[in-house]
Chains A and B, each alone.
Chain A
């Protein structure tokens, strides 16, 4: 089923031409429909006079104020490394349970303010994720625990470290079983410290589980290959990829690494020989990875086992292996899998089949498929194991048994939050209460910490020393970039302290630093021969942030003793509605729920913010109407019952959700610890446990009809829409939707936002685009504007190229932009009113089959048009053009007419409706303005949070427009560097925040006047496939995109 217009649509409502959608698209800023409209106020003449008198008086008083005396306070002893005003970068690592990223931390005057990728790491190679980018904000979380103490009545009663140590040591010496509950620990030195603790208290055992389990994969690999580990998946070497519900680009195993490899095979390397990989995704809900797939095979979650067995049988048939009795699978999926099998067989040894389920037999069969296809030791490499997922929830279940039996005397919770994350959290809580002494290392007062007796808060990652081994032989160091903000102590140090470690130099200012250093001198130095002394080795490793040892080759073979048993895979359920639970790229299983940047980053697929929403399927009547399942609409509330537990969920319709299924993300409904409290619902109690493994779907879910509607439903998909075409209801002609709703002058119906084609149709796409370029340039020749080629041809001219084939929609760039440019967080209420402030948004467009479409993500920011429509309409010339091709915005000149935003065809200008940064609000008014909870203060009002601000970027106040500046501060800095070094500008001098954050290299930026620059070369390589959005309206944008190519 092809969409009748241009094959591109943004949502169900777009297809239907719903009045609500048109209205939403019409109103760039939703002015009415306040959730709670303030009481109407009709000012009288006297009120007017009063206000005028007050304003006049206030202005007079303010104007006559003396200029305040400002101090300039130098260092007493200035450190060599610090030059005020110049950023320092420190190599470190982002490690949080199963997340890893090698990073550089940018600090200014001693404050960490930005995370960049570390290109020296071969694991992440300079790429980052949204989670890594947001790390820096969590450092300045006002709800961090500020001192150690005893927990009484949900509060921390302060204790000194000495007193706490004495109390805990007293408890430890009583003997009995000690349990340390953690997520995966990948730090060799932390493990050594744990070892010392265990040696001192032999009753100790470490219990590890992961927030989202990969335990079945580990168990299957142990059974099949004798290696309890996760191999390296080489997506860059795979011609055909089949993924059974593994969200390998978003959350599965090592997404940053996968994204790079995957994208390298999605970019059009040469028009003659695109050499694109083909990607099948078998899943029920639209995952980030699935949205990038060439072919999505829709199944119900319980059919996953059947799908895997079906593919196995197809492969086995051709390779002569014995068939197994596959459970029933829907015919459509069967046919698609048959095609997948033939593709796989055609590219034997260069394919990859991955599986994200938590069922051991399913993983074993997938291993066997890979074995039959010859992928083992080729695209699946066991030489380098991935250490990020070592947890096993069965261990946790055992622990609950032990605690219930009263066998555990003391429990330490380190980095984990089982009272929220476990499906059987209630059982855990009951059992945990039976433990005599409960200690938490948490940095916030989370659900589990509230159940503890003592809290010994650890440092934030950016205040800590540490190391990590995310993959075999890939070591990575963590170094502090700021002195501890609060009276906290690193967890490892607490353990060593309580273990009375003889290896700890307590006199030292930073004992754990010395401990770490000596561990590296003793254990790591021997792994290399480049540096003779321990000091040189340490210094270089710390400088680089990573230290990599070439791995020993390890080949594996599938154990002949493993029998495939189709009965052990998930059997299709009989329930009318099945529900899938998934991890999102931003919130995870709630670990990141307290980070406002991540909460306000729209989910890539549903594009909702601040919470988790129930994804429901849509139905196409075959003609012109798409209806949500049961007639539900976005924002409706329904009651969902799983395992006898009920929750009210808000619905969002998703194209591509398999019929008869619904899905909801993990991580909502946090109950304690930060700003995530009260957003979404906690679905963890719904997760079934089968055979000891947590299952991320339930075969039976009861969904009621509409029981209400969420007041401030916040989904950004219909905000700032542009260039939509539609069929006119009466004449049947294709018209521009904008024209219809906005009365947009001179609009053209054939609008160029996305071009897409099959990889085999590149030739015709090129022809089509060449014609389009010709048509556009014909239109653009009829211009009144003078030709400014000469003007822009001198010196620098900035341009950006975004490869839509490499963009996977992960959102790292969006958070990077927020972090770099001091973009404020506005909260759910404001997002619901179209007031989100993000300079860079990632537009999601659907194309292809209506019920099972493909997705193209388009990062959209200010296009820096050379004929910018916004510039002409500014009455005060606050926005204008530079000779370097930048659309400049002078905030202090802006008077807030918003004419520019109205006139921007790309809808990328943002208006500060409220004083989001609290730059010029009287504190007494803040609460009323932001409608925050009592006693709460708006984001950025706290000086601690303001430490995250980039001092090189103005903090905008209320009433001004802002937008992407092409990271002008970075441009100015890069130019200055080149000038000071007496050389022409190079590509590496200027890299925008979005560019550096991107894990796939989809964004290229540079000087287009230089034919040798990376951006010129990238555009040249694409030839006609590169285009400018809305090229035909003669705005002459500085950003170019590539056509989206798929390989179905």
Chain B
């Protein structure tokens, strides 16, 4: 009866939920926040991390049009360059930390994020002031609903065992009385400290802790979802998604080597000698490639003795380029305050991206942060999977063509590999290599075998990957 009611309520809630999906809502806001904002902004909205705490953000921007806040979120540097008072104030407070640009967010999406921020901030506040009160009816039900059921079951079972203990007690007393002995009344305390209860508790604790230990140990070193900040805000969504550049155009060794490898700057330059400004980022990001390889975008020539250039020379050149483009975009005759700030900021971005402890120079390779890190004792070969197995990149790396910023999609754990090897069918008939497996051919022919999986040709054996 109770259950039925529960289901009907959830049904109504679900229906309402799906209706709300299109408009800005907390749920979508949470997802967006987690993917876009959470790497810099605290999830509790109360503490400053890389970026400021976001609780009360709407109040702080209330003095300005809502559009300004949108603009700030999409392209903060541009707003600073425009000299927006709130933007300048923030920059003064937080520089040199740059906020990432999120040009892809729609107004509704931003509203969703703001809703979520308010939601969390209010909830925290409510929790702080109204401690002990029952959770609000409007609170999200996703996690707590199941926990609730388990807690109730545990309580019911606890009561049941208590009742059982009582019954056992009574029966025992009955027996004692019948044997002519005085009855012994056990208190609740006696029951809880009885050998049986303690043994059960120890057993349960060992079981739970053991499970947790093993579970956590297997997860150690895994970094699914890892999304570090990269020196260049390279967008796979733009390159692979919108422009539909083949993955292997840049990751050209995937088909012939164990490594897919990150392309050298010269591969970038195949296109970026022409595409010298980004549609969303302008000169901010692409100039970093020029500064790495030594390309003069003004004269369209490579700098021959770039190795020997001083940082000042490099600074002058690229500042000139950034400034020149700023003027062209704005149609201004000379750099205004905002322009100077843009130039300075973009130059600082270049320095931050390219100069590091290991080389101390602007010139030289772009040091990307490696996202997919396999354990040293596991051998993985891209060529085997890409060229021979013809596995799509997305199968392991996820919808990269939709990823604005790259993250690790799969667990890269051994169980995950093994599962795929169990299920994946070998391209048996297309490759003469497999002629060696004569028996499988016969079995396929006679219908005894439906398919040959990777596991059938030894894909689960230790030394396929560990040597």
Interface string of A962-974 (1 = CB under 8 A from B): 0001001100100
| Nearest 8 interchain pairs by C-beta | A78-B264, A85-B257, A75-B264, A72-B370, A888-B463, A85-B259, A85-B258, A70-B370
Main secondary structure of the interface of A (DSSP, over half): loop
Q: Is the CB of B365 within 8 A of A75?
A: yes
Complex CA–CA separation, A888 to B458 (angstroms): 12
A1010 / chain B contacts, CB cutoff of 8 Å:
436
Expressed in whole angstroms, the minimum distance between the Cβ of A975 and any Cβ of chain B is 8
Q: Is A880 an interface residue (CB 8 A)?
A: yes
Structural contact, A84 and B467, CB atoms closer than 8 A: no
23 A-B residue pairs with CB within 8 Å:
A71-B367, A72-B367, A73-B367, A74-B261, A74-B366, A76-B292, A77-B264, A77-B265, A78-B264, A85-B257, A790-B439, A796-B436, A880-B461, A882-B461, A883-B461, A886-B463, A954-B466, A968-B467, A972-B464, A979-B388, A979-B431, A980-B383, A980-B387
Given contacts A86-B257, A794-B437, contact A67 B373 (CB under 8 A): yes
Near A by CB (< 8 A), chain B positions 365-389 give 365-370, 373, 375-377, 379, 381, 383-384, 387-388
Contact for B467 among A85, A796, A953, A1007, CB less than 8 A: A953
- A576 cross-chain contacts in B, Cβ below 8 A: none
Q: Which B residues are in CB contact (< 8 Å) with A86?
A: 253, 256-258
Nearest chain A residue, comparing its CB with the CB of B223: A67
Given that A882-B461, A968-B463 are known contacts, is A71 also in contact with B370, CB under 8 Å in the complex?
yes
Give the tally of cross-chain contacts (CB within 8 A): 152
Interface residues in B206-245 by Cβ distance below 8 A to A read 220-221, 223, 228
Are A76 and B253 CB-contacts (below 8 A) given A69-B369, A70-B370, A954-B377? no
Tell whether A446 is near chain B: CB-to-CB under 8 Å.
no
Provide the bound-state CA to CA distance between A83 and B266, in Å. Answer: 15
Residues of A within 8 A of B467 (CB): 952-954, 965, 968-969, 972
Q: A819 → chain B, closest Cβ, in Å?
A: 16
Confirm or deny: A893 has a beta carbon within 8 angstroms of a beta carbon on chain B.
yes
B160 at the binding interface (Cβ < 8 Å): no
Which residues B424-467 have CB closer than 8 A to chain A?
Answer: 430-433, 435-440, 457-458, 461-464, 466-467
Looking at the assembled complex, report how far the CB atom of A890 sits from the nearest CB atom of chain B, in whole angstroms.
4
A982 at the interface (CB under 8 A from B): yes
Whether B462 contacts A984 by the Cβ 8 Å rule is no
A1009 to B263, CA, bound (A): 42
Which of chain B's residues has its CB closest to A919's CB? B376
Q: Is B110 an interface residue (CB 8 A)?
A: no
Residue from B261, B368, B376, B462 within 8 A of A85 (CB atoms): B261
- The residues of A that contact B373 with a CB separation of less than 8 Å are 67, 70
Closest B residue by C-beta to A893: B462
A328 within 8 A of B: no
B45 at the interface (CB under 8 A from A): no
Query: At the interface, yes or no: B293 with Cβ under 8 Å from chain A?
Result: yes
Interface set, chain A 71-99, CB cutoff 8 A to B: 71-78, 83-86
Question: Does A812 touch B at the CB level, under 8 Å?
Answer: no
CB distance from A616 to the nearest CB of B (A): 44
Contact status A982-B433, CB under 8 Å: yes
B49: min CB distance to chain A, Å? 15
Contacts of A85 in B (CB 8 A): 253, 257-259, 261
A880 to B376, CA, bound (A): 21
In the assembled complex, B202 has its CB within 8 A of some CB on chain A: no
How far is B220's CA from A888's CA once the two chains are assembled, in angstroms?
Answer: 26
* A952 proximity list for chain B (CB < 8 A): 379, 467
**Alpha-carbon gap, A975 to B261, bound state (A):** 22
B267 CB–A CB distance under 8 Å: yes
Asked whether B433 lies within 8 Å of A983 as measured between CB atoms, the reply is: yes
Q: Tell me, rounded to whole Å, the shortest Cβ–Cβ distance linking B181 to chain A.
A: 46
In contact, A979 and B457 (Cβ under 8 angstroms) = no
B365 pairs with A76, CB closer than 8 A: yes
- Asked whether, in the complex, the Cβ of B257 is within 8 Å of the Cβ of A77, the reply is no
A582 to B75, CA, bound (A): 79
Q: What is the CA–CA distance of A968 and B467 in the complex, to the nearest angstrom? A: 7
> What is the CA–CA distance of A8 and B254 in the complex, to the nearest angstrom?
54
- CB of B262 within 8 Å of the partner chain: yes
In the complex the two chains form, is B431's CB within 8 Å of A888's CB? Answer: no
Taking residues whose C-beta sits less than 8 angstroms from the other chain, chain B's interface range is 35 or more
Interface presence of A891 (CB below 8 A): yes
Name which residue of chain A comes closest to B387, CB basis.
A980
CB closest residue in chain A, given B231: A71
Identify A882's interface contact among B258, B437, B438, B458, CB under 8 A: B458
With an 8 A cutoff between CB atoms, is A793 at the interface?
yes
The interface bits of chain A over 46-85 (1 if a CB of B lies within 8 angstroms of the residue's CB, else 0) are 0000000000000000010001011111111110000111
Question: How distant is the Cα of A719 from the Cα of B326 in the complex, in angstroms?
Answer: 77
Q: Which of A858-892 contact B (CB under 8 A)?
A: 880, 882-884, 886, 888-892
Chain B residues closer than 8 Å to A794, beta-carbon distance: 437-440
Closest A residue to B431 by beta carbon equals A982
Q: Which of A63, A979, A983 has the most CB of B within 10 A?
A: A979
Contact with B293, one of A77, A886, A968 (Cβ below 8 angstroms): A77
Is the CB of B364 closer than 8 A to any CB of chain A? yes
Most chain-A CB neighbours within 10 Å: which of B261, B263, B292, B293? B261
Interface membership of A307, Cβ < 8 A: no
C-beta contact mask, A1005-1046 vs B, less than 8 Å → 1, else 0?
Answer: 001011000000000000000000000000000000000000
A83 to B381, CA, bound (A): 13
**How near does chain A come to B164, taking the closest CB pair, in angstroms?**
39
Min distance, Cβ B87 to any Cβ of chain A, angstroms: 30
**B387 contacts across to A, CB distance below 8 A:** 980
Which residues in window 343-396 of B have CB below 8 A to A?
Answer: 364-370, 373, 375-377, 379, 381, 383-384, 387-388
A74 and B368 contacting across the interface, CB-CB below 8 Å: yes
- Which residues from B are CB-within-8-Å of A929? none
Q: How far is the CB of B159 from chain A (nearest CB, A)?
A: 38
Indicate whether A311 reaches chain B with its CB closer than 8 angstroms: no
A678 at the binding interface (Cβ < 8 Å): no
Query: With an 8 A cutoff between CB atoms, is A742 at the interface?
Result: no
Residue in contact with B256 in the complex, picked from A76, A77, A83, A984, CB distance below 8 Å: A83
* Complex Cα spacing A968 to B464, Å: 9
Q: Are A67 and B221 in contact (CB under 8 A)?
A: yes
Structural contact, A84 and B259, CB atoms closer than 8 A: yes
Complex CA distance for A461 and B380, rounded to whole angstroms: 34
Tell me whether A976 is interfacial, beta carbon within 8 Å. yes
Name the residue on B nearest A888 (C-beta).
Answer: B463
Find the A residue at minimum CB distance from B292: A76
